[in-house]
Amino acid sequence: MKPLLSLSALIDQINERVGQAVKWLILLMVIISSLNASVRYAFNYSSNAWLEVQWYLFATVFLLCAGYTLLRNEHIRIDVVCGRLARPTQIWIDILGTIFFLFPMVILIMTLAWPMFMKSFTHLEMSGDAGGLIRWPVKLLIPVGFFLLLLQGISELIKKIAILTGDIPDPGEHGHHHHTAADGEAA
């Protein structure tokens, strides 16, 4: 189990770093949005490119932080029933949900998104709006973001199995794991 926990720690570190870096784009998005609105009202001028930059930044945050959100256990859950179940049952629900819902959905979206990105990239697709931006970079975010989510799903699956086998302690319903590769223990 130690090699798998080391892999899990590496995946956690990747998504942690991506999340910490990408969250600064929210500030940039707010600044651009404020400036865009100010220019539009003060000078009666608007730019499709700047509007699309806002959309691209939102897409970047949303897609690249999906794995980070799962790592932090901040994703949307419906715990009305599950929250009343015994902790081992909750862990099994997470394991089965990851295997039968998260993984197939992520793989399907990545499979469908890659050809869409490639077509956009090879044709150098541009926005249909006047002054709009090139489209392939934002379309690349879809398979990349879902790949990061897939990796985090693998990490969470490893950790849930390790909890059930007693290899790491259970952080509880709302905790997330930070374990070291050297000892496999939760920190």
Contact 133, 126 (CB under 8 A): yes
What gap in Å lies between CA 160 and CA 165, rounded to an integer?
9
Q: Who's near 164: CB < 8 A, 6+ residues apart?
A: 88, 91, 92, 95
Most confident of 41-50, 71-80, 123-132, 140-149: 140-149
Write down the pTM of the prediction. Answer: 0.85
Q: How many CA atoms lie within 13 A of 146 on its CB side?
A: 17
Least confident span in 13-22, 58-67, 85-94, 133-142: 85-94
Token code pair at residue 18: 């991506």
Q: How confident is the model at residue 176 (pLDDT cuts 50, 70, 90)?
A: low
* 85 SS3 class: coil
Q: Is the residue at 182 inside a domain?
A: no
How many domains, in total, are found in the chain?
Answer: 1
What gap in Å lies between CA 32 and CA 27, rounded to an integer?
9
Q: Is the residue at 58 inside a domain?
A: yes
Q: What pLDDT was estimated at residue 173? A: 54
Mean pLDDT of 17-25: 94
In the predicted model, what is the mean pLDDT of the chain?
88
The residue range of the domain holding 37 is 2-73+85-165
Alpha carbon distances (Å) from 147 to 55, 103, 156: 21, 10, 14
Q: How confident is the model at residue 175 (pLDDT cuts 50, 70, 90)?
A: low
For residue 79, pLDDT beyond 80 = no
* 74 SS3 class: coil
Q: Is the residue at 158 inside a domain?
A: yes
Q: Is the residue at 140 inside a domain?
A: yes
How much of the chain exceeds pLDDT 70, in percent?
Answer: 91
Of residues 157 and 180, more confidence is placed in 157
Q: Is the residue at 106 inside a domain?
A: yes
Q: Is the residue at 31 inside a domain?
A: yes
Q: Is the residue at 62 inside a domain?
A: yes
